[in-house]
Amino acid sequence: MPYLWPPPVITGTIGGVIEAAGLTKRYGSTLAVDDLSFHVEPGRVTGFLGPNGAGKSTTMRMILGLDNPTAGDVRIKGQHYRDLNRPLRTVGALLEAAWRHPGRSARNHLRWIARSNEIPQRRVDEVLELVGLTSVAKKKAGGFSLGMLQRLGIASALLGDPEVLLFDEPVNGLDPEGIHWIRQLMQALAAEGRTVFVSSHLLSEMSQTAQDLVVIGRGKLIYQGTTEDFIDRATHQSVRVRSPQLAELREALTRQGAQVDEDDGTLTVSGMDSDAIGELAFATGATLHELSPRRGSLEEAFMQLTGEAVEYHAGDHGAAPETT
C-alpha cells in the first residue's frame, strides 16, 4: 500500500536565489526532469535529495547552462546562467570530481579556471591551502585519489569566492574525516550568507547537513521545505508503553482513536504522542513502566515516500542506474 503524501506546499519567500520553474528535460524517451519547480534560499544549506536516477545531476547541469531544458526555466538571482558576467564569481560548482585532465597539475588546473574569470592567481594558492592540497599542487591530477579529486573540485568551486555554491554528491568517495570536513565547510559557507545547494541520495546524510530540502523522485518534485518538517512528516511516530494495567490503558487509548498493537505485554501506540498517552494514563489511573517514543528509520521513511517515484527498483530488469 503506497504511502499517500499530501501534494507539496511551496512556502517561503517567492524568488529564491536559485529559482526553477517548470523545469523539464527529456533525453530521447527518458524524461529525466519533469516539470520541476523549486527555489533555494540564501544563508542555508539546501539538500537536493532523490534516489539514483531521479534527475539531480541533470537539474544541476541545467542550472549551469550546460544542458538545455526541454521546457521551463531556471534562474540564478533572476538571471540565466549564460547571462552572468564572469559566472564563477557568482556561482561555484562541483558536479563531477573526475572533470580534470589527468596530465595537468592541480595548480595548473585551477590556474586556467581562475584566469578565465579574471580571478587573481594568488587565489589559486589560497583555495589549494583551504582544501589541503598545497603539498600536491604540482602533482598531476591523474594520480589523485577520489578524495583528492573531490577536494580539487571543491577548490575550483570556491575559486571565485561565489555567493552561490552547487555540489553534486560531494561526499562520494570521502572517508569519515573528509565527510565531516565537507559538512563543516558547507555549514560555514551558508553561515556566511551564501546559498548552498547540495545533492545526495541519502536522507541520513542530508538530515545532518541541510536545513532545507528539495526532494525529487523520477524527475518530479516530492517535497520542498525544512528538513525537520520532512523528517517529522516522513517518520511514523509510535510509542512503546508498558503498564501493569495494560488492558484498561489499551481500552482507553483505543477509545481516543489511537492505533494499538499488543505484543508480549507491551503496547505499540501510533496516532498519539507520548504527552497525550501519559496524560491519558494518569486520567485512567494506570501506572506506567515505560513510555518511549520510537521513530522509524529515516532511510525507510524516505524510501516509502519516494517509493512511487523511484525509477529503479531492485530486480527491475537488473539494470543499475548510470551515474552521470
Ligand X SMILES: Nc1ncnc2c1ncn2[C@@H]1O[C@H](COP(=O)(O)OP(=O)(O)OP(=O)(O)O)[C@@H](O)[C@H]1O
Residues of this chain that interact with ligand X (CB under 6 A) are: 27, 30, 32, 50, 52-58, 201, 311, 321-324
Alpha-carbon gap, residue 156 to 133, rounded angstroms: 12
Question: Are the C-beta atoms of residues 30 and 41 closer than 8 Å to each other?
Answer: no
Q: How many residues bind another protein (CB under 8 A)?
A: 33
Select the binding partner of residue 54 from ligand X, Mg ion, another protein, none (C-beta < 5 to 8 A, by kind). Answer: ligand X
- Pairing relation of β-strands 220-226 and 237-242? unpaired
Q: Locate 25 and state its grid cell.
A: 528535460
| Range 17-76, binding Mg ion (CB under 5 A) | 57
Under the binding rule (CB under 8 A), the answer on residue 249 touching another protein is: no
Question: Are the C-beta atoms of residues 79 and 90 closer than 8 Å to each other?
Answer: no
First to last CA, the chain: 32
**Buried b or exposed e, range 263-279, using 16+ CB within 10 angstroms:** eeeebebeebebeebee
Supply the Cα-derived Rg of the chain in whole angstroms.
24
Alpha-carbon gap, residue 91 to 85, rounded angstroms: 11
Q: CB of 150: closest distance to ligand X in angstroms?
A: 15
Write the DSSP symbol of residue 86.
S
- Judged by CB, which is closer to another protein: 33, or 210? 33
Q: CB of 117: closest distance to another protein in angstroms?
A: 6
Site string for another protein, 109-148 (x = CB under 8 A): x-xxx-xxxx------------------------------
Alpha-carbon gap, residue 160 to 89, rounded angstroms: 4
Alpha-carbon gap, residue 52 to 49, rounded angstroms: 10
- Judged by CB, which is closer to another protein: 140, or 242? 140
Q: CB of 287: closest distance to ligand X in angstroms?
A: 50
Q: Per CB under 8 A, which region of 40-48, 108-116, 228-236, 298-306 contacts another protein?
A: 108-116
Q: CB of 312: closest distance to another protein in angstroms?
A: 22
| Range 43-72, binding another protein (CB under 8 A) | 61, 64-68
* Residue type for position 113: I
| Range 12-41, binding another protein (CB under 8 A) | none
Under the binding rule (CB under 8 A), the answer on residue 81 touching another protein is: yes
**Buried b or exposed e, range 26-51, using 16+ CB within 10 angstroms:** eeeeebbbbebbbbbbbebbbbbbbb
Under the binding rule (CB under 8 A), the answer on residue 103 touching another protein is: yes
Under the binding rule (CB under 8 A), the answer on residue 105 touching another protein is: yes
- Footprint on this chain of Mg ion (rule: CB under 5 A): 57
- Footprint on this chain of another protein (rule: CB under 8 A): 61, 64-68, 81-84, 87-88, 93, 95-96, 98-105, 108-109, 111-113, 115-118, 156
